Structures are given as C-alpha cells and as structure tokens.
Amino acid sequence: MFEAIEATALLRAVLRDSCGSDAIARKYLIEAARQGVDPLDYCAHRFGMGNALVWQRAAEWAGFPFAAITPSRIPAPPIRRLEHLGEARSIRQTVLGEELMFCAPGFERVLNLAVARRGRPELTRHLRFVPPDAIETGLAAAASEQLIDEARQRVTRLWPRASASQDLPLGARVTFVAALFGLIVLVLAAGLVARPVLVPVVALLLMTHGLLRLFAAVPQPVREPPRLLADTELPFYTVLIPLRDEAAMVPMLHRAMSALDYPPEKLDIKFVVESRSAPTVAAVKRLLGDARFRLVVVPDCKPHTKPKAIDYALPLARGEYLVVYDAEDVPEPGQLRLAASIFAADPSLACLQAELIPENASENALTALFAGEYAGLFGRLLPALARWGLPVPLGGTSNHFRTDVLRGLGGWDAFNVTEDADLGVRLARRWLRAEMFASRTYEEAPLGMRAWMAQRTRWMKGWMRLCQRGPTSRFPNLSPNSRGTSSAYRNSVATEFWTAVLRARSSLEFLSRDGCWRAR
C-alpha cells in the first residue's frame, strides 16, 4: 500500500498538470506496465516532456541533486562487455578529487533511493540524477578510444582473413590482374580467332547474369503477411542514421522518423555524426528535446567510412532489432512494425531487406534508368536469391537485423566500401537467412553522371575487393548447425557460384564502362 502511494506521488510530481488525480496516475502506471516500459520513459515520450525534464522532476521529488550532463572528458576504465554499453544507467567519475555516481534510475529505483535518502542523508553528496541520454553520451565520450578501436578492428579480431583492412598478398594481386587481362584478351579476340570456342565462352559470361534475372522474373505466389504485432507486443527497435556533412537533410529525417507507426517509448533513434561535421552535429542537437532521438558523435579518425561510424554506435544500440537508414531515406510508416512482426513469426530469420525506390525517377533519363534497375534488383532478383538459398547482397540501407546476430557477426567491416555486400556474404557463410519483405523506402537516385560514376566506382571497388579474397578465405572456421553437412555443402557451393558470377559481372561492367569492349 505504501509503495502504491509513493508510486502515484512520484508520477504526479513528474507529470504535474498533466496528471490531476491519483486515479489518473494509476491509469498511466498500468498503461506503462502493459507496454513493458519504465513509467519515466513512458512520461518522457508520451507527453513530449523529454528526458531532462522528467529526470529533473524525479530528482526533486526524491531529494537528490540533478545534472544535465556528465563530466565526459574524464577517461573511463576499460569496459569488459562493450556490446552492452547502451544498457548502462550509471557512470562513476572522480570530480575535483571527489568520487561521484551519476545515474539515470528507473521508476522503482527512484522510489528505493528516496527511501534510502531518508535514512542516509549523506547519499545526496555522492549521487547525482542525470537523464539516460546523458549517461550514454558520457560513457561514449569517456570510452571513445575503446569504441573506435572496436569499430575498426572488431571484424579483423574475430576473423583475421575476412576484413578489407588486410592487404592482399602479392600473389593474389598478380593473379587478379592476370585474370582481368586474360578476360580482356578473350573478349577482344572472340570475334576474330577461334570463334567456335571463344564466342560461346564470352556469350556464357555475358548471358549468365541475364539468365539469373530472367529466372528471377518468373512470378511467384504471394505469401500471406504475418499478423501485425500490437503495441504491447512490440520490442525495442534501434534506428541508426549515419550522417556526414548533411545538415540540410536533418529536418526531413525528423519528419520521416516521427511518422513511423511504432510506440515512441520503444524507439531508439540514433543520429551517428562524425565530429568534423559541425553543422550536422548542431542540426541534430536541435532535435534532442524529443526523447526518441539521440546523438552519437564519432571521433575524427580514419577510415572516414559509413561502416566505421555505425560500428562505433553498435554497442550503444538498445533495441532487440536494428535498422540502418541513410540521410535521404523516407521509409514507409509501417516498416518497423511489419519487420518486427515478421521476425517474431520466423525465429530463424536473421535479416530483412526492404525495397528501395528512387522517388526522383522522373527527374531525367539517368534517374529513370536507375529506378528501373532498382525495380529489377529489389523487386525480382534479391527475392529470388533468397528463395534459392544464395547469398543476398544487401542494399546499403533499410537492412533490418536481429541485434544479437549482428553483434555475433562482428558488425560491419569498417574498411569495406560495400559493407552491405560483405555482410550479406557473411550471413550466408554462417548459414543465416536474409529475405526481402514487402515494405518500401524512398530515396534519391544520382542526378548526374559524375555522382553516378562515383557511386558505381565505389561499388565496383568493394565488390572486387570481396571477390579477390574468394569465399574460402572468408570465415573458414564455421560451425555446423542443426541442418547438418548437406546444408553446409549447399550454402558453400552457392557462395562459390555466386562469387564467380559477381566476378564475371564486375569485370565485364568494368570493361564496358571504360570502353575496352564494344559489341559487334
């Protein structure tokens, strides 16, 4: 009875004018329990109060000092379980020779601390209440060296031969160049000498990719969508949005994320921004009054890549599931709810890829061609690869993961410019399933040839890097699963075949782009 009275008193102290009676306070407490969230988080999100105001009022009620930030410049000792950093609710720091505990206690913890303070008034000298996002920011800043080291070296440490940070041996480089030169000679000589032999070989190389798309275009029965989870059934969902020099996109992203059909108290939306992008950092800080949004500032160090930035933020993720969006992305409002429902209906599924749609397809001929290519890729080819049990080369955005599976894979390769394709191969090599699902994300296609060429050159570089190592050098220490050796063999052969196809495709597109090959 005493606890119930104290609980309603605390909630009314936090909400004040928004909670006029004990009965209303009990109603909100029951609703927070139904949603499976802490009542303080419920207040911060549902009433638009923000974390700082909620925890400040909780501190006043409990009789403890409040601080809006933590002394983040003071280095923290090495953290043993870095992957759970996002779950931390306290940080101990020595300030001016005095040891202080900064904490963002949950609702029940606030009640317990209030009772403890009455018996031990000296607690107020050593304990400060802070908002949860201040704990996250402080820990990230204090452990930044450890975070950046993990971001750059996690994949290398787990599987030394798999990371793009490792230089290729001289023999591999010579072999690749020789094979590429031999392919050029083969294509050029096919129409001049040994036609009965060379023409069929070149035709096979050129037709393989087309045949894959042709088979993929065969209509398939539409699967029944799963039952959509209710708000009370939905888990926490982390959204990572890497940004660099994209301050102008922040207002659009704010609108897109605010439109998501997902309980706000179960959203963990992180804008991941490099510290050297000062205008973008400032633009994101203007949104932080909304409890859904948090800012992760990545130290300015090499490599300056998207995968390094999201690897840096991965230990801070609090959601059971995780999705990555780019600066120009506008996902359908129901995408997260649908993805969570599919994951819940199929526990064996590790990754979902949404369909990417260029919203500026009518801008010019290049954007129209780009839209057509994406329609074939995300609407036909990738779903077919998933059905056939082949590795699915993920798109660079709108990838939804089970967070524990993603961490088990080591996250993204910070040195790979096509980190999505690399991760798709790693999923397949660990016999983890990735599928497409019926939800769209709208983005912008390149408007000019310069931007298009820069994008395609980056993709070519990443794919060639992936293919140069060959599938057998990536994750050689695989453990069998319950499907046994036949499944392992099937996936291994599939990876070998798909890698060979991609190698042929990359080489031929490279030749076509540079004018080394002309159709006759």
Strand order in the sheet with 98-103: 90-95, 98-103, 127-129
DSSP 246: -
Mean pLDDT taken over the chain: 83
SS3 508: helix
- Distance from C-alpha of 307 to C-alpha of 319, rounded to nearest angstrom: 19
User: pLDDT > 90: what percent of the chain?
Assistant: 46
What confidence score (pLDDT) does residue 190 get? 67
- Distance from C-alpha of 463 to C-alpha of 458, rounded to nearest angstrom: 9
Q: What is the DSSP string of 147-172?
A: HHHHHHHHHHHH-TTT-TTSPPPHHH
What pLDDT band is residue 108 in, cutting at 50, 70 and 90? very high
Residue 410 clears pLDDT 70, i.e. is over it: yes
- Distance from C-alpha of 474 to C-alpha of 469, rounded to nearest angstrom: 8
Strand pairing partners for 356? 441
Residue 465 clears pLDDT 80, i.e. is over it: no
Task: Give the mean model confidence (pLDDT) for residues 292-298.
Answer: 95
Name the residue with higher pLDDT: 241 or 474: 241
Domains of the chain as residue ranges with CATH? 2-142 (no CATH), 231-513 (3.90.550.10)
What confidence score (pLDDT) does residue 114 get? 93
Nearest to 38 by CA among 333, 323, 315, 291: 291
Residue 482 clears pLDDT 50, i.e. is over it: no
What confidence score (pLDDT) does residue 234 get? 96
What confidence score (pLDDT) does residue 182 get? 83
Residue 494 clears pLDDT 70, i.e. is over it: no
What pLDDT band is residue 483 in, cutting at 50, 70 and 90? very low
Residue 41 clears pLDDT 90, i.e. is over it: yes
Name the residue with higher pLDDT: 233 or 73: 233
Cis peptide before 39 (omega within 30 of 0): no
Task: Give the mean model confidence (pLDDT) for residues 429-450.
Answer: 91
Residue 511 clears pLDDT 70, i.e. is over it: no
User: What distances in angstroms separate CA 309 from CA 8, 137, 303, 389, 414, one per listed residue?
Assistant: 42, 15, 9, 31, 8
Total-model pTM: 0.85
- The tens digit of pLDDT for each residue in 357-404 reads 999 888 889 899 989 988 888 988 899 989 888 888 888 899 999 999
- Distance from C-alpha of 50 to C-alpha of 164, rounded to nearest angstrom: 41
What pLDDT band is residue 504 in, cutting at 50, 70 and 90? very low
For the ranges 15-19, 174-178, 456-460, the maximum mean pLDDT occurs at 15-19
Element (H, E) at 345: helix 335-345
User: What distances in angstroms separate CA 24 from CA 8, 16, 45, 214, one per listed residue?
Assistant: 9, 11, 17, 61
- The tens digit of pLDDT for each residue in 332-343 reads 999 999 999 999
